[in-house]
Amino acid sequence: MGNEQLEELRGQLDDVNEKLVELMNERAHLAQEIGRVKSSQGMNRFDPVRERKMLDMIQEKNQGPFETGTLQHLFKQIFKASLELQEDDHRKALLV
Amino acid sequence: MGNEQLEELRGQLDDVNEKLVELMNERAHLAQEIGRVKSSQGMNRFDPVRERKMLDMIQEKNQGPFETGTLQHLFKQIFKASLELQEDDHRKALLV
């Protein structure tokens, strides 16, 4: 009984993991597009004001069970990874 | 023109951020449930074999643009946050 319940919950978790992979890549793709637009306008890719707004949105939307600080920490890692992706794109563009 | 495009992309990114907050919390809730089932069976909450399987799934499902190593790093942070949540639950249960 307990094991069946565990397998059922793990199946649901696997589905959520898969959706998270897709959504993180969707986000990465959008961040790349934004990087390209900014680059074409000579704008700096890193924008602390915009990051602050996104972190505030998390506070506003968070219904738990994760604490807001935990989600904000996770998102900061996502921001960092996205910025690195934009910088890779930029370096590749310079090499063309 | 460039600014309109930027605002449009940022709007899409905000939508994705909001979905990510919801999905991470959905995952956190499932992890809590799993923690409770394991706890009731005297099982250890941390399971390196299960974590390895989830990391392998990321490799299998990843279509980019994030590199698999980047996604795996992000998921390790999520695993860690989920385990901390399960441990908080456990401590609270002990205090009841």
Structure confidence by residue, pLDDT tens digits, B11-42: 999 999 999 999 999 999 999 999 999 999 99
The whole-angstrom separation of Cα B72 and Cα B54 is 9
For residue B94, give how far its alpha carbon lies from the nearest alpha carbon of chain A (Å): 19
Please tell me the predicted confidence (pLDDT) of residue B15.
98
On chain A, the residues whose CB falls within 8 A of the CB of B37 are: 2, 5-6, 9
The DSSP call for residue A42 is T
Q: Do B9 and A75 touch (CB under 8 A)?
A: no
Is A34 within 8 Å of B7 (Cβ atoms)? no
Distance in angstroms (rounded) separating the CA atoms of residues B85 and B31: 8
> What is the least distance, in Å, from the CA of B91 to any CA of chain A?
16
Across the interface, which of B9, B19, B62 has its CB nearest the CB of A34? B9
For the complex shown, is ipTM > 0.90? yes
* A6 interfaces chain B, CB cutoff of 8 Å: yes
Pick the CATH number of B2-95 from 3.40.50.1820, 1.20.59.10, 3.30.70.20, 3.30.70.960: 1.20.59.10
State how far the Cα of B49 lies from the Cα of B43, in Å rounded to an integer: 14
Distance between CA atoms of residues A82 and B20, nearest Å: 15
Q: What mean pLDDT, rounded, does chain B reach?
A: 94
pLDDT at A90 over 80: yes
Contact A66 B14 (CB under 8 A): no
Domain positions in chain A: 2-95
